[in-house]
Structure 1
Amino acid sequence: MSNEIEAIKDPGLPVHVHRRADTDPKAAKKAERQVAILFLLSAAGTVLLIASYLFIPQDVFIFFPILGSTNAHQLFLGLGMAASLFFIGMGAIHWAKTLMPDEEVIIQRHEFRSPDEDREEFVKAAKDGAEAAGLGRRSLIRRTLGLSLGLAGLSPLILLGDLGPLPDEEQKMTSWKKGTRLVTDPGDRPIRPEDLEVGAVAQTLPAIAAGEHRKLSDIAKDAVLLIRLRPEEFNLDAERLSWTHEGIIAFSKICSHMGCAVALYEQQTKHLLCPCHQSTFDVTRAAKVIFGPSARPLPQLAITVDSEGYLVAQNPFNEPVGPSFWGRSA
């Protein structure tokens, strides 16, 4: 019995070794500066995130020899957020390992509901712990921690900007206009009807003026698939048939279910398939849905040729492309 009591009093813990910061004021000051630098790096990362969100356009690219052309907006958003979270975590860890109290404490079990005296003692212990951690004495850490946490808390509020303003008619509009030429993607080469054989498929975008740059938001809505069939293979009404040219028909590439790219064409069945959720559209019947979760056909772009023999749009899309959104019930 006496041996058990002795084991409780002395469980065999190794001799406590004090850290340098516990005994050397210079080492403690150095550790404090290191923690402050880590918090400042975290604050700098948050500033980079906010600056990237506010001031770098989404369609700006930078070139890396290994990564290739990279979207600067997304790259610096990611780097800023990573630096913000990483350095604030490293600062907290370094602070705890070098400056916070390094004592082993044994707490005996007690009832779940502590007496009022114990609660008061806990509050006092918490205040004493905060004092021991150096928040009161170490003003440099306190200020840089406040700066880092404050900016980190500000960044989610900045990102709320993506919730507005409301797009109004922007969601219903694309870059296609009457007379806009269809050009290959990639390549930006105008297309003549003779460039497409029966059964061929081509991905196209609207032509842009020389020196202009396509926006990512436009590319996401403007992509169009050209498919050439034999004219007698169509099962269309007179209006829809007039939107084709010599067996060439054009559809939005953006699936009307969830906005994925419809990229698979079955030449034998004349079906377009969306690889995300297997929505299937019949090309011969104006992309009518024959399978899958999509509720609407792919919007058809009316096409013709211009005076030089190149394929152009007769008119813009007559309905919004892509999945449903508020303000569109069907």
Structure 2
Amino acid sequence: MSQDMSEENLPERRSSESHEVAAHDDPFADPGLPPHEVRRTDIDERAAKRAERQVALLFTVSMLATVAFIASYVAFDIDTIVFIWPFGHVSLLNFALGITLGVALFCIGAGAVHWARTLMSDVEVADERHPIEASEEVRSKVIADFKQGAAESGFGRRKLLRNTLIGSMALVPLSGVVLLRDLGPLPEKKLEHTGWDQATPAAPLKLVSMNTEQPLKAEDITVGSLVFAMPETLSMDSENFQEAIAKDAVMLVRIAPEDIKDRPSRDMGFEGVLAFSKICTHVGCPISLYEQQTHHVLCPCHQSTFDLADGARVIFGPAGHPLPQLAIKTDAQGNLIATGDFNAPVGPSYWERA
């Protein structure tokens, strides 16, 4: 009898064994969730308090590092070079900023990770996929899960963690605000003046050719020509030539006095010779294209067009201001001279300029 029963159950046993083998051979079989392991901080309140103090310490170090970042920016000069192994000779300011900001960000991240691994709930929960539009039951469950997670995280109950986290997160953005100061020194009045500002009626500056660095005479400027000039105090060999010429460059044209429409502009010239800034008032490109018949100059970058016979006003393009003009006359030797700076700031608009 027992032998018959064994034989009857044999197909069922073979089916069960074959199913187990098939499941074992399937590389995509769902292994399920591993059994939950209880952490020490879950059962030992002293361990939980110790972990809380460790996280708070990391957040506090982050706050101190942010304060050190700001203090370093104020205390160290950018030109101070020190030897630091193994980096070699580096800027003390850059090194201090990098170290302090790195520590501030690292401690926030490390504190958050340590908080999550030791104090927040680590029970894994599996949930079935649901439609994109959640049902009312799902929404209620999400809200309940969020409230449960917030309660289990201890954010409301563990005030030391919450306050130090808020403090570190509030201070870190100050690093970015301080870095805005590194956009450059404040311009003060530098944008309003050029190298021609040194010229006065008592001590005028000669206009010299940018090609020969020789003084220019009124007779050198012929109708239809475009001549580029700079102040006699500037030399192409000078160390700051590129910086200075970006504001001091002048273009000279000669227009028949009766063709000059703007009287103040004509009075700033000499016998039809007019001196305008070579720097476009849109984004600061050098202007070099001149049309003799219309007295228009064109900026090659964005096609802003200026009428030199009408005070260099803008007649086309994105430029917002006329080209500044330089008042000129001649000295006893017939050299063209300037007695002051341009009549307006050179180049593109900026905050202080309307």
Place the TM-score, normalised by the shorter chain, in its bin: 0.5 to 0.7
The answer on 1:199 being equivalent to 2:223 is no
- Identify the residue that residue 237 of structure 2 maps to in structure 1: none
Q: What is the one-letter code of the residue matched to 1:104?
A: E
Q: What is the one-letter code of the residue matched to 2:326?
A: L
* Identical residues among aligned pairs (%): 21
The answer on 1:265 being equivalent to 2:288 is yes
The answer on 1:91 being equivalent to 2:113 is no
- Identify the residue that residue 126 of structure 1 maps to in structure 2: 150
1:250 alignment partner, one of 276, 283, 288: 276
Change (3 A) 1:318 1:249: closer
Change (3 A) 1:193 1:203: closer
- Identify the residue that residue 227 of structure 1 maps to in structure 2: 251
Q: What is the one-letter code of the residue matched to 1:225?
A: A
Q: Aligned-pair distance for 1:315?
A: 3.2
Q: What is the one-letter code of the residue matched to 1:91?
A: A
Q: What is the one-letter code of the residue matched to 1:315?
A: G
Supply the distance in 2 between the matched residues of 1:234 and 1:21 (Cα, whole angstroms): 96
The answer on 1:303 being equivalent to 2:328 is yes
Supply the distance in 1 between the matched residues of 2:168 and 2:207 (Cα, whole angstroms): 49
Q: Does the Cα contact within 8 Å between 1:250 and 1:303 map onto a contact in 2?
A: no
If you compute each CA radius of gyration, which structure gives the higher value, 1 or 2? 2
Structure 1: gaps (5+ residues): 4-9, 64-71, 162-166, 208-212
1:104 alignment partner, one of 124, 133, 137: 124
Q: Does the Cα contact within 8 Å between 2:207 and 2:229 map onto a contact in 1?
A: no
Supply the distance in 2 between the matched residues of 1:290 and 1:20 (Cα, whole angstroms): 77
Report matched runs for 1:1-330 at 5 Å.
11-13=30-32, 15=34, 40=61, 44-45=65-66, 47-48=68-69, 52=73, 83=102, 86-87=105-106, 90-91=109-110, 94-95=113-114, 98-99=117-118, 100-107=120-127, 111=137, 114=140, 123=147, 125-130=149-154, 136=158, 145-154=165-174, 173-174=192-193, 176=197, 178-179=199-200, 181=205, 192-193=215-216, 199-202=226-229, 223-230=247-254, 232=256, 235-236=259-260, 237=262, 239-244=264-269, 247=273, 249-251=275-277, 253=279, 255=281, 257=282, 260-267=283-290, 271-273=297-299, 275=301, 277-283=302-308, 285-304=310-329, 313-319=338-344, 322-323=348-349, 328=354
Change (3 A) 1:124 1:20: closer
Q: Aligned-pair distance for 1:253?
A: 2.3
1:127-155 deviation digits (Å, cap 9, x = unpaired): 222269xx839x6x667644422312556
Q: Does the Cα contact within 8 Å between 2:251 and 2:276 map onto a contact in 1?
A: yes
- Identify the residue that residue 69 of structure 1 maps to in structure 2: none
**SS at the partner of 1:289?**
strand
Supply the distance in 1 between the matched residues of 2:32 and 2:205 (Cα, whole angstroms): 81
**Number of matched pairs:** 278
**SS at the partner of 1:281?**
strand
Change (3 A) 1:199 1:157: closer
Q: Does the Cα contact within 8 Å between 1:50 and 1:158 map onto a contact in 2?
A: no
**SS at the partner of 2:31?**
coil
Q: Does the Cα contact within 8 Å between 1:271 and 1:282 map onto a contact in 2?
A: yes
**SS at the partner of 2:172?**
helix
